[in-house]
Amino acid sequence: MEPLALYIHWPFCLAKCPYCDFNSHVRERIDQRRFAAALRAELAWEAARLGRRPLVSVFFGGGTPSLMEPATVAALIADATTLFAPVPDLEITLEANPTSVEAGRLAAFRGAGVNRISLGVQALDDTSLAALGRKHSAAQAIAALEIARGLFPRLSFDLITARPGQTLTAWRAELRQALALAADHLSLYQLTIEPGTAFEALHRQGKLVLPDDECAAALYDATGEEAARFGLLAYEVSNYASPGSESRHNLQYWRYGDYAGIGPGAHGRVTLGGALLATRRHRAPEPWAERVEAHGHGSTEETPVEGPERAREALLMGLRLAEGIDAVRFAARTGVTLDAALDPDILARALDAGYLARAGSRLRATPEGRKRLDALLAALVV
Ligand code: SF4
């Protein structure tokens, strides 16, 4: 049976951040009981058809899942570990924002069974945090990191780079401050302007100016250098970890393994009856809950992913990883050989230029290749 990662989406936030295009919603009042019951029902429905597969990871994402009741988190973990067959060192991650309210609940999440916390720090200076519309201060972020470090065996934090006005010196200082707090994992997001966000309107009016590509590249390089000083290596384009602390959940995505997505807007890739299905749940929270209440699930779409599309998806994911793609597993998973999925001329040129490297059955993008991965993939993948 294919090992499975489980993603659970909590779609609510305290406020909408102006750069965010995630499936997150603000409500005056959230019916916690209703959404807890719907998540549990949809999980049971998914498990009934997938069978008792090895479960390698549970990930509570959002939205802001640290706004969930800890009892709901505990119930979902209990359900997941009963309905599936958890591996002995099951990774259970919860994303949390470092507001004081959420930091006060961290101990309860640890008690619920969460063993890895991912803190949405985003920045460690108050001006940037205010500009990003965040509801916490730098001091609160540091306090939350310290609390989390005392509670959880594994701790990751997110930072946003290429922010307006960001300088290399300030970024290095900020990174060192964050890395010194002994996290084992860092996820870095480059600020981008997404359609439909408040930042898009400001950007269009010329009121929000992002660093140019050269500056963004320098910030990226500095991140790798600072992370390495603290023993965190770039194992993926935007993720750094001490050896052994890589996110097993995200590795399941990047290695193109099976994952089930539960909750509003959640996506999945699950093997069922020999087919690989792309699954998607209804995005809007209340209609999703109504569908679950009526049918046991909130699916809107389930499409088989055929060989060539599997190959494309596996390449887009796998070349993000420093370890790259294993050609044998690639062929077994997609039904397409690695060479057949790549443009031979572009492959030869990328190997010559040092953007790709081959060793044994593995193909990987080098650090230089990962810096220009989007352009490389666009040309390389047939
Ligand atoms: S807290 Fe996260 S998910 Fe919610 S609006 Fe902000 S960036 Fe988006």
* 329 pLDDT more than 90: yes
Ligand 1, residue 20: give the atom nearest the CA: 8
Ligand 1 binding pocket includes 189 (Cβ within 6 Å): no
Is the model's pLDDT at 100 over the cut of 80?
A: no
State if residue 17 touches ligand 1 by the CB under 6 angstroms criterion: yes
Q: For the segment 126-167, what is each residue's pLDDT rounded down to a tens digit?
A: 999 998 988 899 999 999 999 999 999 999 999 999 898 889
Whether ligand 1 lies within 6 angstroms of the CB of 97 is answered as yes
Torsion angles phi and psi, residue 251, rounded to 5: -60, -35
Output the pLDDT for position 342: 96
In this prediction, residue 165 carries a pLDDT of 86
257 Cβ closer than 6 Å to some ligand 1 atom: no
223 lines ligand 1 (CB under 6 A): no
- The mean pLDDT of 17-39, rounded to a whole number, is 95
In eight-state DSSP terms, residue 94 is E
Give 280: exposed, middle or buried? Use CB within 10 Å, 0-12, 13-18, 19+: middle
How far, in Å, from the CA of 17 to the mean position of ligand 1? 5
Residue 378 confidence (pLDDT) above 90: yes
pLDDT given for residue 135 in this prediction:
87
Residue 23 Cα, ligand 1 centroid: separation in angstroms? 9
Radius of gyration of the CA atoms of the chain, in A = 21
Q: Is the CB of 13 under 6 A from ligand 1?
A: yes
Give yes or no for residue 37 CB within 6 A of ligand 1.
Answer: no
Q: How confident is the model at residue 104 (pLDDT cuts 50, 70, 90)?
A: confident
- Which parts of 31-184 are beta strand (E)? 54-62, 85-96, 116-122, 154-161
Nearest to 256 by CA among 302, 311, 335: 311
pLDDT tier, 213 (very low <50, low <70, confident <90, very high otherwise) = confident
| pLDDT of 102 over the 80 cut | no
What is the number of the ligand 1 atom nearest to the C-alpha of 62?
3
Question: How many angstroms does the Cα of residue 133 sit away from the middle of ligand 1?
Answer: 9
Whether residue 63 is preceded by a cis peptide bond, meaning omega within 30 degrees of 0, is yes
273 CA → ligand 1 middle, Å: 36
Q: What pLDDT, on the 0 to 100 scale, is given for residue 364?
A: 97
DSSP code of residue 25: B
pLDDT at position 140, please? Answer: 92
- Give Cα separations from 160 to 12, 122, 287, 373 (angstroms): 21, 5, 32, 19
Distance between CA atoms of residues 123 and 171, nearest Å: 9
The sign of the dihedral angle between the CA atoms of 19, 184, 109, 268 is: positive
Q: What confidence tier does 382 reach under pLDDT thresholds 50, 70, 90?
A: confident
- Residue 9 Cα to ligand 1 midpoint, Å, equals 12
CB-ligand 1 contact for 20 (6 Å cutoff): yes
What does residue 286 show for φ and ψ, rounded to 5 degrees?
Answer: -70, -45
The verdict on the CB of residue 98 being under 6 Å from ligand 1 is no
Q: Identify the weakest region by mean pLDDT among 30-39, 97-106, 208-217, 368-377.
A: 97-106
Residue 218 pLDDT more than 80? yes
CA 20 – ligand 1 centroid, Å: 6
- Please provide the average confidence, as pLDDT, over all residues in the chain: 94
Atom of ligand 1 nearest to the CA of 134: 6
- The predicted model gives 258-266 an average pLDDT of 98
Quick check: CB of 66 below 6 Å from ligand 1? no
pLDDT at residue 309 in the model: 96
Ligand 1 centroid to residue 108 C-alpha, Å? 22
Looking at residue 352, its pLDDT comes to 97
* Residue minimizing CA distance to atom 8 of ligand 1: 20
- For the chain, what percent of residues have pLDDT higher than 70? 100
Query: Does any ligand 1 atom lie closer than 6 A to the CB of residue 61?
Result: no
Name which residue sits closest to atom 6 of ligand 1, judged by CA.
Answer: 17
Nearest CA to ligand 1 atom 3: 63
Q: Ligand 1 within 6 A of 96 CB? A: no
Tell which one of 20, 68, 197 to mutate to probe ligand 1, the residue whose CB is within 8 A of the most ligand atoms: 20
Q: How far is the CA of 16 from the centre of ligand 1 (A)?
A: 6
Ligand 1 in contact with 129 (CB < 6 A)? no
